[in-house]
Structure 1
Amino acid sequence: MAGHSKFKNIMHKKGRADAARSKLFSRLSKEITVAVKMGGGVTDPDMNPRLRLAIQNAKGQSMPKDNIQRAMNKGAGGDGEDYKEIRYEGYGPGGVAVIVECLTDNLNRSASNVRAAFTKFGGALGETGSVSFMFDRKGEIKYPFSAGSEDAVMEAAIEAGAEDVESDEEEGHTILCAFEDVGDVSKALEESLGEAESVNLIWKPQNLTPVDGEKAGTLMKLVGALEEDDDVQNVFANFDISDEEMEKLSA
């Protein structure tokens, strides 16, 4: 979504990098553990597609191998919490559609925390399906800009069966594919471009909602509050905030 990556960069510039990294590793570990448990205890990435994606993401974020192995062992041993997946949907300031994906061992806690964040920052939590129809479910594979020229990455993506490529010097190469093809496409790209920085299943907005001024600031507070919640794995929204507005928010 427009602006979201820039928002994360601003948070890092504000000195939250270490805390954000720790939280990121925690979320990656949780996903690996759940992938193993839901895969019947299978720890072979080639036999467990969800685990393969989780490990790719962990490696792309430089997560230590020991951390990855511990998370896998936890899932294989049936230890730890019994996590459940749940999705919340609603509207934020300015009528922006927001999707929140959680992995939680306490549904009541997650629902209460997500609802409280929406209420605090001028949003409204809706029913499941209330905004997801405005998004497309896609696979998103990210590579650093140094992975190759725009033409080279485009060619590799086409050969791998991807649908689209967006290249930017700051954000790198973002390759999009059909939701159900993400495993095959990421594997093919790995052979031609090497390991990806991340491989995710995302909700891509069909249209963007412009937001500025006070509403933009409040929206970013909502997104930040949601992303800081331990039960929240991902937040997607269809906002469009200009670079100039983002710079004001980072001041």
Structure 2
Amino acid sequence: MAGHSKFKNIMHRKGAQDKKRSAMFSKLSREITVAAKMGMPDPDMNPRLRLAVNAAKAQSMPKDNIQRAIDKASAADGENYEEVRYEGYGPGGSAIIVEALTDNRNRTATNIRTAFSKNGGNLGTEGSVQHGFERLGLIEYPASAGDEEKVLEAAMEAGADDIESSEDGHTIWTAADDLHQVAGDLEKALGEAENVKLAWKPNITVEMDENNASTLIKLIDALEDDDDVQTVWGNYDISDEIMEKLG
């Protein structure tokens, strides 16, 4: 399990737990509301909102929930969230980037710092690990979307930069500014993606042994359990064998 595909893997691992579902919907709703507030409340006219809505649909979020989140953007008494990024170090020399939407910076910073310190890591300063990552667009399709040749051809025609295929599915990378356009073209060719979002892709990955992997997963869980945290990215690589041992 590599850090740049963390979102799909960790959310899949947690997805079977019903108690996590409402928390996931809450995070998706917050992103939809912020996206709608920053631009037009119409997904066709607002690329960020369209990506947020697609991400919600990919997680089977009900249409009514999605519309309520969009409507909250224009509500006079709606919450005001700001985007905050935290950077730090995890077990085994891993680097972690945490993206959050918060209405209270002090609360969020305290919670993030506590999660790091209690799980083998430490919170760094802004820019401390970002240099080891590249800001890119990420599009993920299940294996059922087609074989590697079919997806590769569609990705090339859509203007994607890179594609990684395995028995689990297809990961497509684009320039950040091209994400909306590439995702739209791929949807016409392959159908709706499982995941479409801006991502932090590590330039190099750090292999985790079993002990460090166990602690790292606890750190990621602690971070993702925080209501303000939207996504967690890392440069770690955990082998399938170790993941099986850790369950």
For this structure pair, what is the TM-score category when the shorter chain's length is used for normalisation? over 0.9
Distance 1:8 1:53 in 2: 18
In the alignment, which residue of structure 1 is the partner of 2:194? Answer: 197
Q: Residue 25 of structure 2 corresponds to which residue in structure 1? A: 25
The amino acid across from 2:246 in the alignment is L
Q: Distance in 2 between matches of 1:186 and 1:36?
A: 19
Kept after mapping to 2: 8 A contact 1:92/1:122: yes
Question: Could you tell me how far apart the structure 1 residues matched to 2:229 and 2:95 are?
Answer: 17
Partner of 1:243: 240
Distance 1:177 1:20 in 2: 30
Work out which of the residue numbers 67, 87, 90 in structure 1 matches 2:88. Answer: 90
SS state at 1:47 partner: coil
Residue identity in the other structure for 2:27: R
SS at the partner of 2:219? helix
Q: In the TM superposition, what is the alpha-carbon distance from 1:20 to its structure 2 partner?
A: 2.3
Please name the residue that 2:184 is paired with: 187
- Percent identity (aligned): 60
Contact 1:137 1:204 in 2 (8 A): yes
Q: Report SS of the residue matched to 1:248.
A: helix
- Kindly state the Cα deviation for residue 11 of structure 1 after the two structures are TM-superposed: 3.9
Residue 55 of structure 2 is aligned to residue 53 of structure 1 = no
Opposite residue 74 of structure 1, the aligned amino acid is K
Q: Gaps spanning 5+ residues in structure 1: where?
A: none
Deviations 1:110-163 (A, max 9, x none): 000000011111211111110011001110111121111211111000000001
Aligned: 1:121 with 2:144: no
Instruction: Say whether the 8 Å CA contact 1:85–1:103 is kept in structure 2.
Output: yes
Do the aligned partners of residues 101 and 193 (structure 1) sit closer, same or farther apart at CA in structure 2, a change above 3 Å counting?
Answer: same
* C-alpha contact 1:37 1:78 (8 A) present in aligned 2: no
**Unpaired runs of 5+ in structure 2?**
none
* Structure-2 residue corresponding to 1:207: 204
Q: How does 1:120-139 map to 2 (within 5 A)?
A: 120-139=118-137
User: What secondary structure does 1:46 align onto?
Assistant: coil
Q: 1:51 to 1:9 in 2, by over 3 A?
A: closer
Q: Residues 11, 49 of structure 1: CA spacing in aligned structure 2 closer, same or farther, 3 A cutoff? A: closer
TM-score normalized with structure 1 length:
0.93
- Distance in 2 (CA, whole Å) between partners of 1:79 and 1:203 is 33
Q: Is 1:223 the equivalent of 2:220?
A: yes
Q: Hey, what's the Cα distance between the residues in 2 that align with 1:213 and 1:57?
A: 32
SS of 1:76's equivalent?
coil
In structure 2, relative to structure 1, the CA distance for the partners of 1:62 and 1:11 (3 Å cut) is: closer
Write out per-residue CA displacement over residues 178-221 of structure 1, whole angstroms, 9 at most, x where no aligned residue: 11100110111111111111111000011011111322211111
> Displacement, 1:22?
1.6
Output the CA distance in 2 between the equivalents of 1:222 and 1:180: 31
1:52–1:10 distance in 2 versus 1, CA, 3 Å = closer
- The alignment's TM-score, normalised by the length of structure 2, stands at 0.94
Distance 2:12 2:54 in 1: 22
Q: Provide the alpha-carbon RMSD of the alignment.
A: 1.4
TM-superposed CA distance for 1:7, in Å, is 4.5
